Structure 1
Amino acid sequence: MGKSACNKNPHQLESTCFVLRALFLFLFCRHAYCQCKILRCNSDYLAATHNLRNSEKEVAYCNALRSYSHCTRKTARTCRGNLVYHSAVHGIEDLMIQHNCSKEGPTSPPRPRPPAPNHQGFESLDICNYEKSFLYKHGHLPTYQHCAAFGDPHVRTFHDEFHTCRVEGSWPLLDNNYLFVQATSYLVAQGSNATATGKITIIFKNMKECIDQKVYQAEIDNLPAAFEDGSVNGGERPGGSSLIIQERVPGQHVEIQAAYIGTTIAVRQAGRQLSFSIRVAEEVAHSFTEEQDLQLCVGGCPPSQRISRSECHRGRIAAEMARLLCKEKLPVEDVYFQSCVFDVVTSGDANFTLAAQGALEDAKAFHPDAEKLHIFHTAAGCCLISLPFLLVIITSSFSAILLHF
């Protein structure tokens, strides 16, 4: 760890290099200072300053430095004469001056630590709580992914790709070691390529330590708040309560929580279509083989099944009227808005605004990265003004001119 390496990008590396130098000193001197806990202070500081966003960087950085300072003061008694300790104290003072941090103020929240091992081992933990088990094994919380299918259907994949599909018939949204989700679509109107989801089937595969296999099935005008066998949980096994189903809005919104695989699913009905949203642990989402390659949540719609949202189907609701209806529910003109316009124009059903709105609400709750919530595609959406609507605008404008004179 030479000095030149640490000076390549001082803004990003100063904190890391400072702590690495302290770590080197600690390793060099650890035989003499085994009671000193300065290494824990260093570790907490690095964790608190890792991956800070630009909008919060300066405030969070000062909070972390104040926490670092408090930690060194707590361990001062056992660290007297420790070169690492004294290096840390002086380094903190220098960094606080460089970043204009006050000595008094808020500090970083304590870093969550994995549960201490016990003599009974991992089996004594609740293995049907995915987050708790993951934290125990890895020392940090799992990462999550989000997928959704709504409206025409429009599919938002785990990789934040956005497709509009014709996919008539049954297609798998998910097919992995823990979950199978299938959506069945039908043609929205005669002579149209647009389709909408009329049936959703979800299979929670058998997991002997936690749940029996459970099947949930929803159809238009039949959104049950129970699994096919009439149960509302994972069954008689000890971890049965780690899978539960709840009715959020009767006949319109059901939520299924599968804590044993770190997964939450929302199924909604809006107009004459169903929608599906999921928040799932990344490890679970990617637990499939090469044979399970067709999953709309993973790869999106096959190229042959994709249609452009710029294709306007005239004769139902004029595009500009659809835009006004969608704008009431979706003020940001992102892909949710564009999909809303497409669906309303194609179907002639204003209730499809609720489908896009519900999908956006689920994304707000389920997507792990708020900065990636909105997706913007240029030159997409039914933006053309239909001929009847254009005539209305021209007639209105001409009448206004005559009244003026």
Structure 2
Amino acid sequence: CKILRCNSEYVAATLPLRGPARGAAVCAALRSYSRCTRRTARTCRGDLAFHSAVHGIEDLMIQHNCSREGPVAGPPPPKPDPRGFGALDACDYERSFVFKHGRPPGFQHCAAFGDPHIRTFHHDFHTCRVQGSWPLVDNHYLFVQATSSPVAEGSNATVTSKLTIIFKNMKECIDQKVYQAELDNVPSAFQDGSVDGGARPGGASLAIHELVPGRHVEIRARYIGTTISVRQAGRQLSFSIRAAEEVAGAFSEEEQDLQLCVGGCPRGQRLSRSPRGRGRAAADAARALCREMLPVEDAYFHSCVFDVVTSGDANFTMAARGALEDARVFLPDAGKIHIFL
């Protein structure tokens, strides 16, 4: 039975895909995956991984609205190591997951931006009054803490002014790494000056990529199937994450019970998103400004209006716009990008 070869070819075809144009390429890869399983059906008839893959393909075809007829993905590149699944593959979460389960992993998305507004892993959307330091993510692999301060003197609204991200030590993959960003200081390296996971065999499975100098970095943690985006827009920092479901859920409820990405803001720290304090004219002007960047009146649009009215700073339109751009890249289901309040 050669189902593992089908699985690995599908992963190789889809791993590099990003952005809004990935849909057609994913469908092509799924059609190739389906064709590969049909070729090996006779020898794999009693194999559980084979049947899991077949059902997984059906679900993914429906999820991505793929037709059964159409172009297929090109042939996979040759494998550099013919000896099979080795130590370095253990530091590639997606390949490892497919090898073990016969299907790609699921992913979840969380974001914190603007006031801050929190989009949780479960698609809840809150606006928070959280001064001081609060954990966004706290699990066995990763810790993310946001530090907030008032957006203006005397205001209940706050913005994220500092982000601390700790990638925890993991066997042969990475040394513990700490990334810290503050207003006007979004570095393209970890605190120790390195840009990867260190000298261990899988050190390259953690890497920082600077997308806009001093304003936007992306940290790719392949060993845990996770990508993090950190941006500065105006006088605030934004955080977005795409995490494997298994990784996002790897925490103890007794010890790691407060995570804004999991449970959202505590009830006593939630704010109404109705803009107040500057009058109807300011709200109308903010709506017009936000509509230029965010034509769909969803949670991102209303968060933008709230932030512009509260702060008086038009740069906050870029915070909501950046969060929406991250959602388009990070969310596996395009139908869940927009949240309507």
Normalised TM-score (structure 1)? 0.67
CA 262–308 in structure 1, closer or farther in 2 if over 3 Å, else same: same
Task: Note the 1:2-401 alignment, pairs <5 A.
Answer: 39=45, 48-50=57-59, 52-53=61-62, 56=65, 59-60=67-68, 63=69, 106=70, 123-124=86-87, 126-290=89-253, 291-314=255-278, 318-377=282-341
Between 1:131-140 and 1:307-316, the stretch displaced more is 307-316
Between 1:146-155 and 1:135-144, the stretch displaced more is 135-144
User: Separation in 1 of the partners of 2:99 and 2:140?
Assistant: 22
Aligned partner of 1:184: which letter? Answer: T
SS in 1 for 2:91: coil
C-alpha deviation, 1:283, in angstroms = 0.4
C-alpha deviation, 1:125, in angstroms = 5.5
User: Separation in 1 of the partners of 2:44 and 2:180?
Assistant: 56
CA 340–36 in structure 1, closer or farther in 2 if over 3 Å, else same: closer
Superposed CA deviations along residues 371-390 of structure 1, whole A, max 9, x for unmatched, are 0000001xxxxxxxxxxxxx
User: Separation in 1 of the partners of 2:104 and 2:43?
Assistant: 25
For the aligned residue pairs, the C-alpha RMSD in angstroms reads 2.6
User: Separation in 2 of the partners of 1:351 and 1:108?
Assistant: 43
C-alpha deviation, 1:56, in angstroms = 3.9
Aligned partner of 2:182: which letter? Answer: E
8 Å Cα contact 1:267-1:274 kept in structure 2 = yes
C-alpha deviation, 1:217, in angstroms = 0.3
Mark the runs of 5 or more structure 2 residues left unpaired by the alignment: 1-40
CA 316–45 in structure 1, closer or farther in 2 if over 3 Å, else same: closer
8 Å Cα contact 1:167-1:195 kept in structure 2 = yes
8 Å Cα contact 1:316-1:348 kept in structure 2 = no
8 Å Cα contact 2:275-2:305 kept in structure 1 = no
Superposed CA deviations along residues 123-153 of structure 1, whole A, max 9, x for unmatched, are 4552111111111111111110000000000
CA 107–184 in structure 1, closer or farther in 2 if over 3 Å, else same: closer
CA 47–267 in structure 1, closer or farther in 2 if over 3 Å, else same: closer
User: Separation in 1 of the partners of 2:44 and 2:207?
Assistant: 45
Aligned partner of 2:195: which letter? Answer: V
Q: How many residues align?
A: 291
| Structure that is richer in helix per residue | 1
User: Separation in 2 of the partners of 1:212 and 1:281?
Assistant: 20
C-alpha deviation, 1:368, in angstroms = 1.2
User: Separation in 2 of the partners of 1:55 and 1:366?
Assistant: 15
SS in 1 for 2:104: coil
Aligned partner of 1:149: which letter? Answer: A
SS in 1 for 2:90: coil
CA 132–196 in structure 1, closer or farther in 2 if over 3 Å, else same: same
The structure that has the greater radius of gyration is 1
CA 46–126 in structure 1, closer or farther in 2 if over 3 Å, else same: closer
Percent identity over the alignment is 67
CA 50–202 in structure 1, closer or farther in 2 if over 3 Å, else same: closer
